[in-house]
Amino acid sequence: MRRRQQPPLPKRHGLDPARLRLPEEGDWATIRDHLVERLPRVRPERIDELLREGGIVDLAGPIALDTPYVPGGAVWFHRDLPEETEVPFPIGIVHRDEDILIVDKPHFLSTIPRGQHILQTALVKLRRDLDLPDLVPAHRLDRVTAGLVLFIINPARRGAYQTMFHNRLVHKEYEAIARFDPSLDLPRTVVSRIVKERQVLKAYETEGEPNAETLIELLDHRDGLGRYRVRPRTGRTHQIRIHMNSLGIPILGDDFYPELTDKPVDNYTRPLQLLASALEFPDPVTREPRRFETARTLRAWDDHAGWASD
């Protein structure tokens, strides 16, 4: 197995530097000329500044403004970070051993860096706060969904735990709060085909071979709200939210389904009432059965009077 090349720059904020491979063909005189064309979102003045400060390197060291272009080479640098609003909610630690870390992620915190969310992500915060630079997630939760996420501490065990999720050997349970519909026959399994297109925020159901399956049960109801246990048997984008909406009981606080709502990213007033409440699996290393449960609760159920009119 080919080993991954070690970056010549150290991690920053728990993140590896970006790596750019230089094309085999091209007529750029210098690496700087190529970077200006390759990175149109970065101002040429900023590229020059990074080059003068030694912030762009190859395997031989820092690259100068006049370093000749080398076809097939590679350069590394740390991307400038976006301005982010701090997510003011703690990450709960449910379990930690030498191989894995189970955390209770709060609402509004992305699992991994993506787009405008870099430092304010569970992965970066945990790498920094727990001094675990090699930590990686075995799976992900949406930014707006709270609950359990399994991270892998030991790099030698990554394949075992990630394969466990890929092969659907992990039993996942969620809790959701939505409108109570006494005419709805539950429990029931919702099966459909869900499609998510790139650059489109919402996923949607369409005709064709089913690729999404969700078991939905009613646990309790009061004051017009229902408390539901949801067990997805597949992992399509927004699957639970779409299937709950298809039954006419969209999850409280959902800004996508049924209607897309333009909500500021730092508006933490009404979180999506969806919680990844349990993970259960046969451990691929110890072979023992394991089950972990969240310590979180959903606010709409605890303070149901303020949500019943949604």
Place of tokens 């449960």: 293
The domain boundary, picked from 27, 51, 77, lies at: 77
Q: Are residues 149 and 223 in the same domain?
A: yes
Q: What tokens does 140 get?
A: 């992900």
Instruction: Specify if 265 maps to a domain.
Output: yes
Mean pLDDT of the 216-232 span: 97
Question: Could you tell me what percent of the chain has a pLDDT over 70?
Answer: 96
Q: Please choose, from the candidates 194, 297, 304, 213, the residue with its C-alpha nearest in 3D space to the C-alpha of residue 252.
A: 304
The domain boundary, picked from 77, 105, 120, lies at: 77
The CA-CA-CA angle for residues 50, 51, 54, to 5°, reads 85
Confidence category of residue 304, pLDDT binned at 50, 70, 90: low
Instruction: Specify if 132 maps to a domain.
Output: yes
| Amino acid making up residue 154 | N
Residue 223 to residue 50: CA distance in whole angstroms: 59
Q: Are residues 71 and 198 in the same domain?
A: no
Q: Are residues 127 and 199 in the same domain?
A: yes
Instruction: Specify if 293 maps to a domain.
Output: yes
Q: Are residues 97 and 172 in the same domain?
A: yes
Residue 84 to residue 161: CA distance in whole angstroms: 31
Residue 297 to residue 132: CA distance in whole angstroms: 28
Q: Are residues 120 and 152 in the same domain?
A: yes
Instruction: Specify if 1 maps to a domain.
Output: no
Q: Considering the chain, what is the average pLDDT of its residues?
A: 93
Write down the pLDDT at residue 307: 59
Instruction: Specify if 296 maps to a domain.
Output: yes
The CATH number for 32's domain is 3.10.290
Per residue in 152-179, pLDDT (tens digit) is 999 999 999 999 999 999 999 999 999 9
User: CA 295: distance to chain centroid?
Assistant: 20
Q: Are residues 275 and 204 in the same domain?
A: yes
Instruction: Specify if 87 maps to a domain.
Output: no
Write down the pLDDT at residue 90: 96
Q: Are residues 133 and 248 in the same domain?
A: yes
Instruction: Specify if 128 maps to a domain.
Output: yes
Structural domain count of the chain: 2
Q: Are residues 35 and 173 in the same domain?
A: no
Q: Are residues 190 and 283 in the same domain?
A: yes
Contact present, 119 and 13 (Cβ < 8 Å) = yes
Mean pLDDT of the 31-56 span: 95
Domain that holds residue 273: 92-306
Instruction: Specify if 47 maps to a domain.
Output: yes
Helix/strand/coil (H, E, C) string of the chain? CCCCCCCCCCCECCECCEEEECCCCCCCCEHHHHHHHHCCCCCHHHHHHHHHCCCEEECCEECCCCCECCCCCEEEECCCCCCCCCCCCCCEEEEECCCEEEEEECCCCECCCECCECCCEHHHHHHHHCCCCCCEECCCCCCCCEEEEEEECCHHHHHHHHHHHHCCCCEEEEEEEEECCCCCCCCEEEEEEEECCCCCCCCEEECCCCCEEEEEEEEEEECCEEEEEEEECCCCCCHHHHHHHHCCCCECCCCCCCCCCCCCCCCCCCCCCEEEEEEEEECCCCCCEEEEECCCCCHHHHCHHHCCCC
The domain boundary, picked from 77, 111, 145, lies at: 77
Judge whether residue 53 has pLDDT over 70. yes
Per residue in 58-117, pLDDT (tens digit) is 999 999 999 999 999 999 999 888 888 899 999 999 999 999 999 999 999 999 998 788
Judge whether residue 309 has pLDDT over 50. no
Residue 52 to residue 67: CA distance in whole angstroms: 12
Q: Are residues 118 and 266 in the same domain?
A: yes
Per-residue CA distances from 182 to 31, 99, 250, 277 (Å): 66, 45, 15, 25
The CATH number for 228's domain is 3.30.2350.10
Q: Are residues 273 and 135 in the same domain?
A: yes
Q: Are residues 153 and 97 in the same domain?
A: yes
Per residue in 241-260, pLDDT (tens digit) is 999 999 999 999 999 999 99
| Amino acid making up residue 170 | V
Residue 178 to residue 160: CA distance in whole angstroms: 36
Residue 92 to residue 18: CA distance in whole angstroms: 30
